[in-house]
Amino acid sequence: MRYLAGRLAWALVILLGTTFITFAIVFVVPGDPARVVAGPRADAATIASVRHELGLDRSLPAQYGRYLWRLAHGDLGRSYANRQPVATTLARRLPATATLAVAGLAVAIVIGLVVGILSAPVAGTWVDRTVLVGSLAVLSAPVFWLGMLALYWIGFRWRLVPLGGAGTFRHLILPALVLGIGSGLYYARLLHTNLQGVLRLDYIRAARARGVGPFRLYTVHALRNAALPLLTVIGLDFAALMNGVVLTETVFHWPGIGRLAFDAVLALDVPVIMGTVLLSAGLVVTTNLAVDLLYRLVDPRITLR
């Protein structure tokens, strides 16, 4: 309980610092949100009226204090673009992002476990080198380029899946594959390296001497310790995916948090920008705490302080 209380206190400090930094950055960049909302042909009187309505004519400390007061009462403000509550907008976009994040992470974990476990016993052979070169090639390719290739060949030429959008399982296949293949190959290399180190430990030699079969040796004895560093990477990736993947969501026209944040930046929609960044920070803090607790469950020798 002492550990949890300390982590939650630090989480509040991090979130407060995130709001301050984001608020400062938004108002440092060039541009006038009131002019964007009023339109390019609005006169000075209209822009001044919009600025007063949005509260942008107040001092920056007053605007920041007002934002914190609303935030303390669970109010993320209203969008400058459509005047809808930011919390409602985020709640409407979050299921799509969560669906894509879980699907992409599932693809990555399956690829990572399968390739990592199968390549570990053949380390140093031509099979292992082929997997390494292929992994590096895919990891070096930009996500949007892989997405465009997948759309052209699988969606347009072969017509196996829709070309974009959301709504059915078939719409989810391409973005989940594109999102998961790069992370999955990275997990495979990390697991491969960790397995090589674990397989040289004394307790693995003892298990072999006792006649433990290869499948049980890898999946039960070695994988449990080798996968511990992988938990941290998976946790961070899940937080990043839950924050929305801008390029993937844009290429596949996926209506998630990442695309919402991208549109908000273009429109200088300050409340939406603040809301998405705050949500992202909260997800990262929560995921890090969950990974620390999961470490303790996987390996009881680990203590939390």
Confidence of residue 259 (pLDDT cuts 50, 70, 90): confident
pLDDT over 90 (residue 57): no
Token reading at 298: 């996987």
Contact by Cβ (8 Å): 248, 150: no
Confidence of residue 99 (pLDDT cuts 50, 70, 90): very high
What is the pLDDT, as a whole number, of residue 35? 82
At 175-184, the pLDDT tens digits run 999 989 988 9
Confidence of residue 131 (pLDDT cuts 50, 70, 90): confident
What is the pLDDT, as a whole number, of residue 302? 65
Confidence of residue 109 (pLDDT cuts 50, 70, 90): very high
pLDDT over 90 (residue 124): no
pLDDT over 80 (residue 1): no
Strand partners, 78: 85
Helix axes 270-298, 228-242, angle to 10 degrees: 160
pLDDT over 90 (residue 110): yes
Question: Counting Cβ atoms within 10 Å, is residue 301 exposed (0-12), middle (13-18) or buried (19+)?
Answer: exposed
The mean-pLDDT minimum among 23-32, 109-118, 208-217 falls in 23-32
Q: What is the mean pLDDT of residues 158-175?
A: 88
What is the pLDDT, as a whole number, of residue 218? 78
What is the pLDDT, as a whole number, of residue 304? 61
**Angle in degrees, CA 225, 227, 231, rounded to 5:** 125
Q: What is the mean pLDDT of residues 164-181?
A: 89
pTM confidence score: 0.81
Task: Count Cα neighbours of 250 within 13 Å in the Cβ-side half-sphere.
Answer: 12
What is the pLDDT, as a whole number, of residue 299? 66
Domain boundaries, the chain: 86-298
At 46-55, the pLDDT tens digits run 888 988 888 8
Query: Domain 86-298, CATH 1.10.3720.10 — does that match?
Result: yes
